[in-house]
């Protein structure tokens, strides 16, 4: 026993984390793509604090990925030196953090986790209108130190203002599994698709994101509308600080794209979601609708959560899912389930129609869908008038009016029995007709055992 230990208060149990453990745990629950998504979120938040009238067209984010290094560079305003010192690199948000209105970042974990996930060495340069700094961290060296601190390589404070306002992060000494992914073309493609979806909103407003010089495409969220088909629209304010909007209806028949899309402050956190989380529960004992499959591929639902204070939103820290236990998501999910029921019964009608009557002019529901026009949901929700004109509280569609009623349904029964047996029954029934035997024995059973 050392003398130090003897001096310690015997009532104290040491719970201080080791940095090694901290880093390992931190990066375990985040996928590489989500980690990169987190770094992009920080850039988008920077732009969000600067844009006027929702116009992102002056801002760009460039990502360069090679098997040796990862680089992300933006012109989205940079990080203020005081923010860097007091908040940006803290693990977790101090309670006095002022925050960015309507931001995507909120937990104070995303950037650090992403840096550790990707590599063992990172360099950050950032310039903002009144300050600039450079931070260079070797993660292994840092892990050996007892102090929970990063040391700036240099900084500058001036009132003249810098020209290039933005942040550049270079990460190298990549982790082994990261090297493999970064050398894989499929990974880059998947990353591109994921970032396109996640940042669909700012991209649609002009933000440019490039991966290895290839610009991410603008993805449109569309719904079919017409005088006959009206998507469902639901809007509610929650606790005065979260605005909830749901828009759902039918879209193109694409199996991979059907389902729900859930956004928090414009960032896609779920979708296309086709599981119990958004009500595709299947099974009689569940609270939702059917399981997602081919006949529902035209289903499109969009749920938007907006809040100035991002911590009020029901998302998880990796922003690839929702907090299923939150009261707000439970309530919204119930509304989503209710909204999707009429849409799914419409899609069931379409399916029945396809199976029953193949002549094209009689495909009543399919023809209605064919005639409808695909409209960007941003255009639908642009003004109250367009919401009024194109949507309804409940998904609306015309119903085919079957004037002629189906004929009484009759089926035939055929079976073979030994002639001896049938003859014995014939004698009891006093009949010569075999058909009569079939009919009268059936009638007897119906009367005696079934009733009616």
CB of 252 to another protein, least distance (A): 24
- Rounded least distance, CB 448 to another protein, Å: 15
Which residue has 């119930």 as its token pair? 334
Choose which of 107, 155, 238, 364 interacts with another protein (CB under 8 A): 238
The residue from 24, 311, 334, 388 that contacts another protein (CB under 8 A) is: 334
Burial per residue of 239-271, b for 16 or more beta-carbon CB atoms within 10 angstroms, e otherwise? eeebebbbbbbbbeeeeebbbbbbbbbbbbbbb
Whether residue 272 is preceded by a cis peptide bond, meaning omega within 30 degrees of 0, is: yes
Contact between 452 and another protein (CB under 8 A)? yes
Examine residue 424 and tell whether it contacts another protein (CB under 8 A): no
Compare residues 46 and 290 and give the one whose CB is closer to another protein.
Answer: 290
Site for another protein in 277-316 (CB under 8 A): 283-285, 287
Least separation in angstroms between CB 302 and another protein: 17
Is the CB of 133 or the CB of 302 nearer to another protein? 302
Q: Structure tokens of 185?
A: 């073309």
Closer to another protein by Cβ: residue 285 or 420: 285
| Angle of CA points 440, 446, 448, to nearest 5° | 100
Q: How far apart are CA 82 and CA 158, in angstroms?
A: 13
Q: Which is nearer to another protein, 83 or 326 (CB)?
A: 326
Q: Could you tell me which stretch among 3-11, 43-51, 233-241, 380-388 binds another protein (CB under 8 A)?
A: 233-241
d(CA 408, CA 410): 6
One-character DSSP codes across 373-411: EEEEHHHHTSSHHHHHHH-BSS-B-------SPPPPP--
Q: Which is nearer to another protein, 157 or 324 (CB)?
A: 324
Minimum CB separation from another protein for residue 336, in Å? 10
Distances (CA, A) of 94 to 45, 46, 106, 178, 257: 18, 19, 11, 31, 39
Residues 239 to 268: which contact another protein by CB under 8 A? 239, 244
> Which stretch in 297-305, 339-347, 365-373, 376-384 sits in contact with another protein by CB under 8 A?
339-347
Supply 368's token pair. 């209605």
Distance, in Å, from the CA atom of 181 to the CA atom of 168, rounded to the nearest integer, reads 22
Please answer whether residues 211 and 198 qualify as being in contact, where contact means their C-beta atoms are separated by less than 8 angstroms.
no
Question: In the complex, what is the shortest distance from the CB of residue 281 to another protein, in angstroms, rounded to a whole number?
Answer: 11
Which residue, among 267, 260, 363, has the nearest Cα to 313 in the 3D structure? 267
Of 156 and 447, nearer to another protein (C-beta) is 447
Dihedrals φ, ψ of 230, to 5°? -125, 125
C-alpha distance from residue 231 to each of 49, 201, 248 (Å): 33, 20, 5
Give whichever of 89 and 329 is closer to another protein, judged by the CB atom.
329
Tokens, residue 173: 């000494």
The single residue among 53, 405, 418, 420 that binds another protein, judged by CB under 8 A, is 405
Position 388 contacts another protein (CB under 8 A): no
Stretch that binds another protein, among 162-170, 246-254, 334-342, 431-439 (CB under 8 A): 334-342
Residues that bind another protein (CB under 8 A): 236, 238-239, 244, 283-285, 287, 326-328, 330-335, 337-339, 341-342, 345, 393-394, 402, 405-406, 452
């Amino acid at each position: 026993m050392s003398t130090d230990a003897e001096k310690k208060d015997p009532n104290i149990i040491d719970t201080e984390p080791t940095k090694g453990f901290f880093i390992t745990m931190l990066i375990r629950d985040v996928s590489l793509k989500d980690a990169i998504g987190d770094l992009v979120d920080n850039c988008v938040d920077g732009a969000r604090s600067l844009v006027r009238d929702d116009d992102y067209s002056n801002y760009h984010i460039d990502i360069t990925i090679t098997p040796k290094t990862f680089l992300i560079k933006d012109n989205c305003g940079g990080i203020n030196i005081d923010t860097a010192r007091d908040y940006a690199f803290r693990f977790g948000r101090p309670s006095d953090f002022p925050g960015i209105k309507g931001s995507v970042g909120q937990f104070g974990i995303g950037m650090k986790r992403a840096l550790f996930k990707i590599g063992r060495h990172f360099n950050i340069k950032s310039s903002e209108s009144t300050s600039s700094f450079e931070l260079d961290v070797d993660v292994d060296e840092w892990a050996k130190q007892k102090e929970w601190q990063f040391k700036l390589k240099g900084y500058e404070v001036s009132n003249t203002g810098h020209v290039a306002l933005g942040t550049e992060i270079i990460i190298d000494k990549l982790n082994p599994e990261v090297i493999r992914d970064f050398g894989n073309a499929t990974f880059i493609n998947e990353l591109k698709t994921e970032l396109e979806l996640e940042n669909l909103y700012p991209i649609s407003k002009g933000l440019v994101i490039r991966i290895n010089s290839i610009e991410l495409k603008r993805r449109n969220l569309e719904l079919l509308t017409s005088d006959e088909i009206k998507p469902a629209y639901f809007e509610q304010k929650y606790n005065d600080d979260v605005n909830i909007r749901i828009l759902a209806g039918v879209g193109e028949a694409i199996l991979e794209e059907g389902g729900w899309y859930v956004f928090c402050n414009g960032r896609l956190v779920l979708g296309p979601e086709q599981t119990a989380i958004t009500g595709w529960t299947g099974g009689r004992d569940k609270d939702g609708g059917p399981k997602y499959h081919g006949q529902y591929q035209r289903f499109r639902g969009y749920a938007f959560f907006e809040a100035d204070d991002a911590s009020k939103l029901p998302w998880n820290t990796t922003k690839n899912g929702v907090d299923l236990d939150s009261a707000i998501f439970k309530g919204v999910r119930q509304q989503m389930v209710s909204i999707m029921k009429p849409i799914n019964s419409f899609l069931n009608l379409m399916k029945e129609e396809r199976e029953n009557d193949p002549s094209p002019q009689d495909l009543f529901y399919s023809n209605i869908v064919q005639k409808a026009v695909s409209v960007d949901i941003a255009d639908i929700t642009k003004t109250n008038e367009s919401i009024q004109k194109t949507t309804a509280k409940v998904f609306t569609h015309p119903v085919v009016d079957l004037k002629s009623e189906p004929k009484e349904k009759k089926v035939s029964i055929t079976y073979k029995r030994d002639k001896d047996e049938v003859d014995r029954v014939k004698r009891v029934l006093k009949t010569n007709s075999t058909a009569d035997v079939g009919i009268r024995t059936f009638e007897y059973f119906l009367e005696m055992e079934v009733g009616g």
